[in-house]
């Protein structure tokens, strides 16, 4: 078989003495690829024949009467066959812990992350940063906490930790598929893989990450694997430095083409102070809560609509005489922020509205103004809904004002002897 370089020599007329003469058969349009990324040309192909016109394989839309098959989702809206997905996150946010549990969910067909498992799938996880032992610790932590037995993963989760082997590389100044590409093809085929996870993207290639053309080349290789083998491909990626915003499509490091190639890109960010106050989470614990958001738009959805996880530590009970305490390794559990209205009865809401309607004994009325201080209406709500935080109670008042349950009315404040606006209740719009 001839490599591309040998083929080029033949095209220029340099036929090696030890090669047989070629015949007049047309050149093949498809050929296998070698481990170093160079295509291999079969020796019975005529290299001197003029290249035949390529085809677009265009099709007439009018010929398709039946509906195309549905997309083949694997886990929630995270992984789908024939598509490239990714998770953008700063270091030490819990990106690997979240992805590991999602992979385990697919391999066991158990909704460990709270996301729907459409169909049990075989997972191939490549950790390009950790070694085998560290990856085993991460998996063990998730197994222990979520009650997963080794037999549950047998034949469904395959792992590897290759180092220095690239999917894309440079050879003589040209971009080529690296040896990892051929290795992946072999394992995907022999193990019948459904989801390929490659963590992280930056370790996957040896090209310039700020070069759009280079990143296009890497992503094309990934998409090609996804389509040819009908698998989902997931590539978690580090974010650039600076403040991270939930759902920011531009958060990833390097060229934008890496972001644009993925159809299912998500961000993972820590709980903000504002969110912590809303949810009643103490400041020292907020770093343990992370939110997963779609990065299709740069505007984050409301906090309560994100997918939340809590980072927890799990003891592995792997102590030795030298290290009797053993390891505590991080994993995640699904977490649901408290809903502002969940669990509040109509009686509680009406009791709060009764207080607002009655006003204060001195004749002053409640207010929804941010600087209302002692006259703030949210305090009346919290008296009857003690499980709600100040931001949540303020949100209830804002909703009532917006919906007309509460209306503003001018009155003379008997304390300040000035005209003011106070809140009154519209009786016909009370909760029932």
> In this predicted model, which residue has the larger pLDDT, 12 or 258?
258
Q: Can you tell me the mean pLDDT for 231-251? A: 82
Q: Give the least confident one: 25-29, 57-61, 210-214, 405-409.
A: 25-29
Q: What is the pLDDT of residue 127?
A: 96
- For the cut 50, the answer to whether the pLDDT of residue 47 exceeds it is no
**pLDDT tier, 53 (very low <50, low <70, confident <90, very high otherwise):** low
Q: What is the pLDDT of residue 109?
A: 98
Q: What is the pLDDT of residue 43?
A: 39
pLDDT per position as a tens digit, 296-326: 633 345 454 689 999 999 999 999 999 999 9
> In this predicted model, which residue has the larger pLDDT, 42 or 401?
401
Residue 367 DSSP symbol: B
- Residues 61 and 64: their CA atoms lie apart, in Å, by 6
Burial label, 199 (beta-carbon count in 10 A; 0-12, 13-18, 19+): buried
- For the cut 50, the answer to whether the pLDDT of residue 14 exceeds it is no
CB 368 within 8 A of CB 397: yes
Q: What is the pLDDT of residue 279?
A: 85
Q: What is the pLDDT of residue 244?
A: 75
> In this predicted model, which residue has the larger pLDDT, 66 or 8?
66
- For the cut 80, the answer to whether the pLDDT of residue 224 exceeds it is yes
- Residues 257 and 173: their CA atoms lie apart, in Å, by 21
**pLDDT tier, 259 (very low <50, low <70, confident <90, very high otherwise):** low
Q: Give the least confident one: 10-14, 263-267, 340-344.
A: 10-14
How far lies 138's CA from each of 194, 315, 327, in Å?
21, 11, 10
Dihedral pair phi/psi, residue 155, rounded to 5°: 85, 0
> In this predicted model, which residue has the larger pLDDT, 353 or 387?
353
Q: Can you tell me the mean pLDDT for 211-221? A: 94
């Amino acid at each position: 078989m001839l490599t591309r370089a040998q083929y080029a020599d033949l095209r220029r007329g340099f036929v090696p003495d030890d090669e047989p003469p070629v015949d007049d058969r047309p050149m093949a349009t498809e050929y296998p690829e070698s481990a170093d990324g160079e295509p291999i040309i079969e020796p019975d192909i005529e290299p001197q024949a003029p290249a035949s016109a390529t085809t677009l394989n265009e099709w007439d839309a009018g010929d398709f009467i039946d509906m195309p098959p549905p997309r083949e989702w694997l886990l929630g809206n995270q992984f789908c066959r024939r598509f490239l997905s990714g998770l953008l996150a700063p270091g030490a946010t819990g990106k690997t812990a979240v992805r590991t549990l999602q992979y385990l969910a697919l391999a066991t067909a158990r909704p460990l992350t709270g996301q729907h498992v459409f169909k049990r799938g075989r997972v191939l996880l490549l950790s390009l940063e950790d070694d085998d032992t560290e990856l085993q610790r991460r998996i063990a932590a998730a197994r222990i906490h979520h009650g997963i037995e080794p037999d549950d993963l047998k034949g469904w989760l395959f792992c590897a930790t290759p180092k220095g082997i690239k999917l894309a590389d440079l050879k003589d100044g040209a971009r080529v598929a690296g040896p990892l590409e051929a290795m992946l093809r072999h394992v995907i085929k022999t193990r019948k893989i459904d989801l390929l996870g490659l963590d992280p993207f930056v370790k996957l290639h040896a090209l310039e990450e700020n070069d759009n053309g280079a990143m296009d080349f890497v992503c094309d290789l990934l998409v090609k694997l996804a389509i040819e083998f009908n698998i989902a491909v997931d590539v978690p990626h580090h974010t650039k430095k600076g403040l991270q915003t939930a759902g920011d499509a531009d958060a990833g490091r390097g060229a934008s083409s890496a972001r644009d190639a993925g159809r299912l890109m998500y961000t993972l960010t820590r709980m903000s102070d504002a969110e912590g106050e809303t949810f009643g989470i103490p400041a020292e614990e907020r770093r343990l809560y992370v939110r997963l958001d779609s990065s299709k738009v740069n505007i984050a959805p409301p906090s309560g609509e994100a997918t939340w996880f809590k980072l927890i530590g799990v003891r592995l009970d792997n102590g030795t005489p030298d290290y009797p305490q053993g390891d505590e390794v991080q994993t995640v559990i699904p977490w649901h922020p408290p809903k502002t209205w969940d669990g509040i009865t109509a009686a509680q809401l009406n009791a709060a509205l009764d207080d607002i309607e009655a006003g204060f004994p001195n004749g002053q009325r409640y207010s929804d103004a941010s600087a209302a201080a002692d006259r703030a209406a949210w305090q009346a709500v919290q008296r009857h809904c003690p499980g709600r935080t100040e931001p949540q109670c303020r949100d209830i008042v804002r909703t009532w004002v917006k919906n007309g349950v509460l209306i503003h009315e001018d009155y003379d404040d008997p304390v300040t002897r000035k005209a003011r606006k106070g809140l009154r209740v519209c009786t016909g719009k009370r909760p029932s």
